[in-house]
A and B are shown apart, each in its own frame.
Chain A
C-alpha cells in the first residue's frame, strides 16, 4: 500500500496561471480531504469529497478554487488565476470511512511568483 500520493511535490506558478494539485488516496479509501497550511500555521480544512460527490466545501474560497474526486482517477484541487496569497502547502488526506482518522499525503508546496 503506497499511502496517500500527492503530485507534484512542488509547483511554481506565475500570478494568473492555473494550478492543479492531484491526490491519489490510499487503496480502499473513498473519502478525501484537502487542507491548506500557511507557513508556521496549523492546517485549515478546505473540502471533503467522496467519489463523485462534494460533501463539504465550507472551507474553500468561493472563487477560483474547485475540487473534484471522479469515479476513476485522483482527486484534483484546482486553483484558477493564482495570486501570491495562494502560496502554501496543500495537504490531502484519505480515510476508508468518514471518520477523522485520516492519513496524509506528503503535500504539494505551491509557490506563486
Chain B
C-alpha cells in the first residue's frame, strides 16, 4: 500500500525567512496531494493541494511543488509569520477517498 514519509519532523526558522517541508510517497498511482495545518488541539485544515497533472501551485505565501518522477512533493512557505507556527501534514491519495498521511512537521517561527 501507499506510504508517505515527511521531513523534517521539526523545523525552526526565523520570522520572515522561508520554510520548506518535504514528503515522499511510494505508490506511483497517487494522484492527489493535500497539505494540512493543525494548531494545537484543533482540527486539521486544508491549506493547499495539488493534483498529479500539475507541477506547481501557489496561493499567496504558500506553494506546493510535485515531482512525479521522483515521487516527492514539497510545501514552501515564504515570509513566515508567527501565526504560521503549527504542525503541518502532507498526505497522498491513490484512489478517490483514502488519504495516507505523513507523520507531521512541527514548524516553529522564531521572532
Residues of A within 8 A of B (CB): 31, 33, 40-45, 48, 55-56, 59, 91, 95, 97-107
What does the 1/0 interface line of B77-107 toward A look like (CB < 8 Å)? 0000000000001010100111111111000
Instruction: Contact check, B44 vs A43: say whether CB atoms are below 8 A apart.
Output: yes
Instruction: Contact check, B103 vs A42: say whether CB atoms are below 8 A apart.
Output: yes
Which one of B44, B93, B103 has the greatest number of beta carbons of chain A within 10 Å? B44
Instruction: Contact check, A91 vs B43: say whether CB atoms are below 8 A apart.
Output: yes
Residue on B nearest A31 in the bound complex, by CB: B97
Instruction: Contact check, A42 vs B97: say whether CB atoms are below 8 A apart.
Output: no
Interface of chain B: mostly helix, strand, loop or mixed: strand
Given contacts A40-B104, A100-B32, A100-B34, contact A45 B43 (CB under 8 A): no
Instruction: Contact check, A42 vs B43: say whether CB atoms are below 8 A apart.
Output: no
Instruction: Contact check, B96 vs A98: say whether CB atoms are below 8 A apart.
Output: yes
Residues of B within 8 A of A (CB): 6, 32, 34, 42-46, 49, 89, 91, 93, 96-104
Could you count the A-B residue pairs with CB atoms below 8 Å apart for me: how many are there?
A: 55
Instruction: Contact check, B98 vs A42: say whether CB atoms are below 8 A apart.
Output: no
Further pairs besides A31-B97, A45-B98, A55-B97: 8, Cβ < 8 Å:
A42-B6, A56-B98, A59-B98, A100-B32, A100-B91, A100-B93, A104-B44, A104-B45
Instruction: Contact check, A106 vs B102: say whether CB atoms are below 8 A apart.
Output: no
In the bound complex, what is the Cα–Cα distance between A100 and B99 (angstroms)? Answer: 7
In the bound complex, what is the Cα–Cα distance between A101 and B35 (angstroms)? Answer: 11
For B45, the chain A residues whose CB sits under 8 A away are: 104
In the bound complex, what is the Cα–Cα distance between A102 and B100 (angstroms)? Answer: 13
